[in-house]
Structure 1
Amino acid sequence: MELKKNPKANVGRNSSLYFAVGLNVMLLLTYLGLEHKTYETEATKIDILMLDNQIDEDIPITTIEFVPPPPPKATQARKDVVPEIITIVEDVEDIEESIIQSTEVGQDDIIDDREVGVEDVAVTEVEEDIEVPFAIIEKVPQFPGCTGNNSELRACFERKIQEHLQKHFRYPDPAVELDIQGRVFVFFLIDKNGLVTKIKSRGPDQLLETEAERIISLLPKMIPGRQRDRNVSVPYSIPINFKLQTQ
Structure 2
Amino acid sequence: MELKKNPKANLEKHNKQFMLLGLVLALLIIYVGIEWKTFERNIADLGVVNAELDEEIDIPITERIQEVKPPPPPPPAPEKIEIVEDDTEIEETVLESTETDQNEVVEVQEIVEIVEEEVVEEDVPFAIIEEVPTYPGCKGSNAEKKKCLQDNIQKIVNKNFNTGLANDLGLSPGKKKVYVMFKIDKTGKVTDIAARGPHARLEKEAIRVVEKIPEMTPGKQRNRPVGVKYTLPITLIVE
Query: What's the TM-score once normalised by structure 2's chain length?
Result: 0.46
Based on CA coordinates, which of the two structures has the bigger radius of gyration?
Answer: 2
Q: State the TM-score, normalized to the length of structure 1.
A: 0.45
